[in-house]
A = this chain, B = another copy of it.
Amino acid sequence: MAEKISDIGEFGLIARIDAVIQREGVGSDQVTVGIGDDTASFTPRAGYEVLVTCDAMVENRHFLSGSISPFDLGRRAMVQNISDIGAMGGRPVYALVSLGLRGEIPVSEIEDLYRGFISELNPFDACIVGGNITGTTGPLFIDITLIGEVEQGRAMRRSGATAGDVILVTGYPGQSCAGLQLLLNASDRTSLQDHPLVKGYNTPSHRAQLGAAIGKTARATAMIDTSDGFLGDLGHICETSRVGAEVMDEKIPISDDLLDVAGELGKDPKEFFLGDSDDYELIITCRPENAQLFRSLAADHGVPITEVGRITPLPGIFLVRADGTRERLRSISWDHFR
């Protein structure tokens, strides 16, 4: 029988987690009080702003238990937060992990969950400095608070887009949602684990290194990640910037994989691109003369990037077809309560 959390208790579990962090994580000499205390403390770097974000994941709502490994679940939960810091042009530095767990969960799964967190933090020399563990009788939850830093005055906003700016997007938003649909429609989920779009759903990438590089140039007017879907997040930029946008139908980037899967599922691949999807790509707006700078930065990072449209002075986001016809697009972001 696998050792369960209830076999070793809360303090036993904390000791095991601490051992994984000490052995496999990186340390920081800026941390003055780390994991094990009720409160962590660190010395912020002079000349930097502190960024802070949090995102929770709930079992069977944000992830399908049984179709993702604990290691990948840890990665995915951390990527989601790293992406938010990266979209501000920042670098993650410290994480707090708050878990709601059931006693029957094997201890090794929690250790693997932390290995997943750590594998995403280590490339940034970022570390877990604290958190909280509680029992729950309901669905498991993972709530991460990620602290980042960005040079003073260099934090990217979603509110700076102006009419005439071009709209760039990295990668292929929509792939993750198509991967999820594949899983939901499958009779045998395990056979799908290696499908590129299922991997895109279970172990998405973030673009935080590119985000930080873009932030440093101070040439982007707005930036956001696509965690609410392309249309939802372009909508956030337009709303806070008080502008509108035109998206060119024929420029929408659709990967061959997405094209295939959309065909299999009998759906329009552009619906996946526009709609809600857990990809962590970046939307960037900038003056047209700076687009080439970002294209070459993205190439340096090995990240595909596509110019998909323009910011307009009047509100509303429109799809413009090759024949010049326009269709107003409405955001269909996921709502937890509707």
Residues of B within 8 A of A43 (CB): 49-50, 152
Instruction: Mark each residue of chain A from 127 to 162: 1 if its CB lies under 8 Å from any CB of chain B, else 0.
Output: 001111111111101010101101010010110000
- Asked if A41 and B52 sit within 8 Å, CB to CB, the answer is yes
A235 CA to B211 CA in the complex, in Å? Answer: 45
Tell me which residues across on chain B come within 8 A of A135, comparing CB atoms.
58, 61, 336-337
Given contacts A56-B132, A98-B143, A336-B134, contact A51 B62 (CB under 8 A): no
Asked if B49 and A88 sit within 8 Å, CB to CB, the answer is no
Cβ–Cβ < 8 Å partners of A196 in chain B: none
Q: Cα distance A39–B81 when bound, in Å?
A: 9
A228: nearest chain-B partner, CB-CB? B38
A121 part of interface (Cβ distance < 8 Å): no
Residues of B near A304 (CB, < 8 A) are none
Chain A contacts with B in 208-251, Cβ cutoff 8 A:
224-225, 227, 240
Number of this chain's copies in the assembly equals 2
Are B152 and A337 in contact, CB atoms less than 8 angstroms apart?
no
- Tell which of A8-16, A164-172, A177-185, A312-320 binds the partner: A8-16
A190 adjacent to chain B (CB < 8 Å): no
Q: Is the CB of B139 within 8 A of A61?
A: no
Q: Does A6 contact B (CB under 8 A)?
A: yes
A336–B130 contact, CB under 8 A? no
How far apart are the CA atoms of A62 and B133 in the complex, in Å?
Answer: 12
A32, B133: Cα distance in complex, Å? 31
Report which of B36, B40, B335 forms a contact with A53, defined as CB distance below 8 A. Answer: B40
Interface membership of A55, Cβ < 8 A? yes
- The reply to whether B337 and A5 contact each other, CB–CB distance below 8 Å, is yes
CA distance A189 to B133 in the complex (A): 29
Contacts of A88 in B (CB 8 A): 33, 37, 39, 41
User: With a CB–CB cut-off of 8 A, which chain B residues contact A152?
Assistant: 43
The contact of A38 among B40, B49, B60, B225, by CB within 8 Å, is B225
B residues less than 8 Å from A143 (CB atoms) = 54, 56, 98, 132, 143
Q: Is A307 an interface residue (CB 8 A)?
A: no
Interchain nearest-CB distance for A127 vs B (Å): 13
- On chain B, the residues within 8 Å of A98 by CB distance are 54, 56, 98, 143, 145
The 23 sampled A-B contact pairs (Cβ below 8 Å) are A6-B337, A9-B337, A10-B336, A33-B157, A38-B225, A39-B88, A41-B90, A41-B150, A43-B50, A44-B44, A44-B50, A53-B130, A55-B132, A56-B98, A56-B143, A58-B135, A58-B138, A61-B136, A61-B137, A98-B98, A103-B337, A135-B337, A137-B139
4 more A-B contacts (CB under 8 A) besides A11-B333, A60-B137?
A: A42-B50, A57-B134, A98-B145, A103-B336
